[in-house]
Structure 1
Amino acid sequence: MTTSTASSHDSQGWRADIEAAARRLQQDGRGFVRETPLWRLPASALGLEAPGAEVWLKLEHLQSGGSFKARGMMNRLLANPIPAAGVVVASGGNAGIATAGAARALGVPCEVFLPGVSPEAKRQKLRDLGATVNVVGELYVDALEACLARQQATGALLTHAYDQPEVVAGAGTLGREIEAQAGGVPDAVLVSVGGGGLVGGLAGWFEDRTRVIALEPEGSPTLYRAREAGEPVDVAVGGLAADSLGARRIGDIAWQIAQQHVPEALLLTETAIRDAQQWLWTEMKLAVEAAAALPLAALHSGAVHLQPGQRVCLIVCGANVDPATVA
């Protein structure tokens, strides 16, 4: 089941949409979306041996609501009229938090449908933001079905976690921001994939000017399995990052963009992800969720080899985690 309105955007179309999203967020977003820091570190600072190489950490976990989702959700709300019923979203947590925060900033009601796998910390955050919270089923697809039924009944504006053009374009503003901050593009961008809104937005912005590498846990391989099958397919979902990378299939929009501009989709083990998550805390005092640790896990595990002189950007995408689980 999908709510995508994916079209035959060419890459120039996505770049234009991302530029429009950036203007919209700056002019009308009431300061909700922040410019997040870009750390440019020598490879040795992350325990890597590659002379002259730089690793850029895009600290998007410091974004409003604790994840990159703020960009796409606010862009979706700003780009559409919002009915009296407000907005409704199904989410593993981060998209719901971002939608609820954007709705509060704009003064409109928000209802969020969560799967049972979502952690209590995310549920409480939603309540604190004033959202109506419904926990339905165990997985994201269960929450989505209930959300779509509620939208049909109330006429609320549906905000999809990853598969709407405004959501993808909003996520793409992250790539635009990286390029502006660095004064150029890195040699590669490493990014976690669930439903694909972030990888789609980044690849839509960077096109073929850099190497966008998609990373997935072995327990939630939506893009990897789609590549094997030649089309999006349903996959079993589970494991360490299922609360934030728990989509059952890659989004239609991300699939279209990835076909053109994402040359690699790699799988990472639970052990590599957990080790990287704990390393980010113990060595850099960054308390981030498992999904945010995949880019570093790819380097530490050797799934991606950092070459001498390379500049590689790691998207640290979210921080909605109980700190006690990473300490």
Structure 2
Amino acid sequence: MRELTYGDIKAAADRIAGQVRPVALTPLDPGAIRTAHRDPLDDRPPANCQVWLALEYMQHTGSFKARGARNFLAAHREAGTLPDAGVTIASGGNAGLACAWAARQEEVRATVFLPTTAPRVKVRRLRAYGADVRLVGDEYAEALTACQDFAGESGALASHAYDHPLIAAGAGTLLDEIRRQIPDLDTVVVAVGGGGLFAGVATAAHHHGLRTIAVEPENCRALSAAITAGRPVDVTVDSVAADSLGARRTSRMALHIAQEGRTHSVLVPDDEIVRARQALWDHRRVAVEHGAATALAALTSPPRHRADRETPPPPTTPNWSYRPAGGEKVAVILCGANTDPADLTTTDES
């Protein structure tokens, strides 16, 4: 499979124009995010960083995945390669929702394979879109195998939750929409599962000379592990955010762009993901899934230090938080909200 290019993202933007909702942005309160420590000899007045939330959870189907799904099916329709048997996909939930929605727009069938652990709210919504839902195994990888077998038997077009240039290019259209609203953006922060959103956003960010912060749960670290190994490798999936970020292996596209520079890998523990999600509810009345809160957790997690570390870590070692510099302009992508908010407690804002 060839590498993703910025030209692919521009083509996707043209293809899905008017078919997806433009992303909305909202700024965090000044001082809400702590900045990095300054040089003690720097006597200039301290400057706050500026942080915006990119509200992509307001997209069709409740996540960014609608962009890639719409681009994938529209491109196949243009090429005359969309079969009568329709489309099939394996998903933790969000990609399946997007595929079913896009299939309905194209008036073709969608057969979606999910692990049995997929949230019930996502299964109900899939069926509401008219998808044929099949629950297989405990992990995404098992659902993927069943999907591949079905595609071979039925002739359905096999889509992918993240590992396809058309899917990643559609996701990457998000970055240019953000830049149109923040032309002098410095950094974009994005949660990473299999790497489709990261690959698309980071490819566009790299084109514009921006920094990308790739954030993963501590125990769902497919991209971080691939960066360390120098190749995609299988990892254990065990996180509160596994329903959307629980890919066992990242894509080669994602690893390739991560290795090109201007990407910082950050790992966050589950308790900080839960805390960031709760904070969004407490202070914004925003109910997102744990995968979306993972991106924000990179900026709100306290730094972690290892007592046995006597020398600086090698470049392949991930960070445990990200502290913007004073004056830095940062966009944090809240990528999905297909969640049951019943576990969010209602408290008075402090």
TM-score, structure 1 as length reference: 0.92
Matches within 5 A, 1:227-238: 227-238=227-238
Judged with a 3 Å threshold, the aligned counterparts in structure 2 of structure 1 residues 47 and 203 are, in CA distance, closer, same or farther, namely closer
Report the residue type matching 1:20 in the other structure. Answer: A
Contact 2:227 2:255 in 1 (8 A): no
Q: Give, in whole Å, the separation in 1 of the partners of 2:3 and 2:19.
A: 30
Matches within 5 A, 1:1-327: 5=1, 7-9=2-4, 14-26=5-17, 31-44=18-31, 46=32, 48=34, 51-80=47-76, 81-182=81-182, 184-207=183-206, 209-302=209-302, 303-327=321-345
- Give the Å deviation of 1:261: 4.0
The secondary structure found in structure 1 opposite 2:28 is strand
Structure 1: which 5+ runs fail to align?
none
The secondary structure found in structure 1 opposite 2:133 is strand
- Give the Å deviation of 1:255: 1.4
- Give the Å deviation of 1:185: 4.3
- Give the Å deviation of 1:51: 3.3
Structure 2: which 5+ runs fail to align?
36-45, 303-320, 346-350
Query: Which one has a larger percent helix, Structure 1 or Structure 2?
Result: 1
The Cα offsets for residues 248-297 of structure 1, whole Å up to 9 and x where unpaired, read as 00112111222114532111001110000000011111100001111221
Q: Give, in whole Å, the separation in 1 of the partners of 2:74 and 2:261.
A: 28
Contact 2:23 2:178 in 1 (8 A): no
The secondary structure found in structure 2 opposite 1:134 is strand
Q: State, as a whole percentage, how many aligned pairs show the same letter.
A: 46
Q: Give, in whole Å, the separation in 2 of the partners of 1:199 and 1:88.
A: 23
Instruction: Identify the residue that residue 311 of structure 2 maps to in structure 1.
Output: none
TM-score, structure 2 as length reference: 0.86
The secondary structure found in structure 1 opposite 2:72 is helix
Judged with a 3 Å threshold, the aligned counterparts in structure 2 of structure 1 residues 189 and 47 are, in CA distance, closer, same or farther, namely closer
Q: Give, in whole Å, the separation in 2 of the partners of 1:261 and 1:181.
A: 25
Task: Give RMSD over aligned pairs.
Answer: 1.5
Which aligned runs of 4 or more in structure 1 are off by greater than 6 angstroms?
none
Q: Give, in whole Å, the separation in 2 of the partners of 1:159 and 1:185.
A: 35
- Give the Å deviation of 1:48: 4.2
The Cα offsets for residues 71-112 of structure 1, whole Å up to 9 and x where unpaired, read as 001100001131111110000000000000111122111010
Q: Give, in whole Å, the separation in 1 of the partners of 2:228 and 2:219.
A: 16
Contact 1:193 1:223 in 2 (8 A): yes
The Cα offsets for residues 116-142 of structure 1, whole Å up to 9 and x where unpaired, read as 221111000100110000000000000
Judged with a 3 Å threshold, the aligned counterparts in structure 2 of structure 1 residues 47 and 15 are, in CA distance, closer, same or farther, namely closer
Q: Give, in whole Å, the separation in 1 of the partners of 2:289 and 2:240.
A: 10
Report the residue type matching 1:25 in the other structure. Answer: I
